[in-house]
Amino acid sequence: MPNVQVETKTETTTKTSLSVKINLVVGMVSAIFIGAALVNATVINPPRLTAKDIIPPYVTIVSPINNAVLKGEAIFQASTYDASGIKEVEFYINGSLKFVDRNGQDGWLMKWQTTTYANGPYQLIAKSFDQNGNSQIGQAIFVTIFN
Ligand SMILES: [Ca+2]
């Protein structure tokens, strides 16, 4: 007889434990469904941008450095950033557009064969365009070609 009592008690404990486990699982599944519903709501109804982007990109020339003396092949490179992303960067030598870089994955730059230019001083300007039509002309730098 004492054996039966012990067995009954054990069964009750197991049932209670199982019930708690089921409740936990139901709770977790509910949380997952609510989370998924929130994610779906975000994807289906993205927040609408009511403010127009009027902030131009940041741009500065990182190569060559100001007052550098160049020969052979030089790298004319800009560093640029915009929250909307950069569309392209224009490279000007003495006010003349020489190259438009539309792929910044290898850096925003142009290779400059200085041997095709006369020795002397040059002004370099980089102009960056963001994805929303804003542009910025970075500060000009001055270099000298001496081949
Ligand atoms: Ca912008």
DSSP one-letter string for 14-44: HHHHHHHHHHHHHHHHHHHHHHHHHHHHHHH
| Ligand 1 centroid distance, CA of 140 (Å) | 21
Q: Is residue 54 packed enough to be buried (19+ CB in 10 Å), middle (13-18) or exposed (0-12)? A: exposed
> Which of 62, 72, 139, 77 has its CA nearest to residue 110?
77
Distance CA(41)–CA(147), nearest Å, equals 63
Stated pTM of the model: 0.66
Q: Which segment of 20-24, 114-118, 131-135, 136-140 scores lowest on mean pLDDT?
A: 20-24
CA–CA gap between residue 70 and residue 146 (Å, rounded): 6
User: Given a cut of 80, is residue 4 above it in pLDDT?
Assistant: no
Q: What is the pLDDT of residue 67?
A: 98
Ligand 1: centre distance to CA 135 (Å): 8
CA dist 97 and 137 (Å) reads 13
17-34: per-residue pLDDT in tens? 555 555 655 555 555 555
- Ligand 1 centre distance from Cα of residue 94 (Å): 27
- What's 58-145's CATH class? mainly beta
Q: How confident is the model at residue 13 (pLDDT cuts 50, 70, 90)?
A: very low
142 CA to middle of ligand 1, Å?
27
For residue 143, what are its two tokens? 């270099």
